[in-house]
Amino acid sequence: MKMKFIAASTTALLVAFAAQAQDVEPGFKSLFNGKDLTGWAGRNHWTVEDGVISGTTTTENPAKGNNFLIAKDANGSNTVVGDFELRFSYKFTGNSGNSGLQYRSLDKGNFVVHGYQGDFEVGNTYSGILYEEGKTRGIMCARGDKVVFGEDGKKEAAGKTEKSSKEIQDSIKKGDWNDFVIIAKGPHLQHFINGNLTADIMDNDPKKQALSGILAFQIHAGPPMKIQFKNVRIKALK
């Protein structure tokens, strides 16, 4: 099937922080100052430890449903993004855990967020997929796949990524830092882990696609877990 691009206006990135930002690549802006949660808001699972964002649940303080640390602008409003490239590093500590980065998403209140998610986990299946949190499409693109959602909403296969799902999984470091990149331009969405393309999606469904929305990190309901993030930075694309 021939991929069809829909023209989309670029939503301005509302990213400004009073605290000093970490050094980033030219054209990128830091979303984390390396000191505290200025520019973010979430439940009491989130802290800054040793210069990194940490999300932790315990038996005594479980996640009551999936919840999120939401990026905020200098005025305390949700940071809204349209076309962008986002880069960050993540690390799990322990034997369980599932998380993700919500983008172009919706704030549903009480730190619950719905929409596109770049997924990652301790396990061996879901890291790098596109999941639609809280909506009807669920796993939109499995790892190693390229897919197109047509204007009629139907999903069609559009090929495979250069590396297989197993090869991508083998490149993911257990208990150590991994680099995640999301590129969103119009209806074209791409995820990368450690330089490998993991999912490639054309979302041409006008009823369900999202061309702008908020950013948020997930902490997942379930067994106790710990997820950490650092070097979070973003660049607007034109």
**116 within some domain:** yes
Q: Tell me the mean pLDDT in the region 206-231.
A: 97
**18 within some domain:** no
- Say if residue 5's pLDDT is above 70: no
Q: Give pTM, 2 decimals.
A: 0.90
**68 within some domain:** yes
Q: What are the residues whose beta carbons fall under 8 Å from the beta carbon of 102, sequence distance 6 or more?
A: 68, 113, 115, 116, 117, 133, 214, 215, 216, 217, 218
CA–CA separation, 43 vs 219, rounded Å?
Answer: 10
Q: Do residues 140 and 132 touch, judged by C-beta distance below 8 A?
A: yes
**106 within some domain:** yes
Q: Do residues 226 and 92 touch, judged by C-beta distance below 8 A?
A: yes
**21 within some domain:** no
pLDDT at residue number 101: 98
**1 within some domain:** no
Could you tell me what percent of the chain has a pLDDT over 90? 89
**15 within some domain:** no
Q: Do residues 191 and 198 touch, judged by C-beta distance below 8 A?
A: yes
Q: How far, in Å, are 52, 91, 101, 198, 221 from residue 88 at the CA level? A: 11, 10, 10, 15, 22
In whole numbers, what is the pLDDT of the chain averaged over residues? 92
pLDDT at residue number 24: 87
**238 within some domain:** no
CATH number at residue 62: 2.60.120.560
The letter for the amino acid at 198 is T
- Say if residue 234's pLDDT is above 90: yes
CA–CA separation, 236 vs 11, rounded Å?
Answer: 9
- Say if residue 104's pLDDT is above 80: yes
Q: Tell me the mean pLDDT in the region 124-147.
A: 97
Q: Tell me the mean pLDDT in the region 147-158.
A: 98
If residue 166 lies in a helix (H) or strand (E), which one and from where to where?
A: helix 165-171
First to last CA, the chain: 26
- CB count within 10 Å of CB 57 equals 23
- At residue 105's C-alpha, the angle toward residues 177 and 46, to 5°, is 45
Q: Tell me the mean pLDDT in the region 117-137.
A: 97
- Residues making up the chain, counted from first to last: 238
pLDDT at residue number 22: 52
What total number of domains does the chain contain? Answer: 1
47: domain range? 29-230
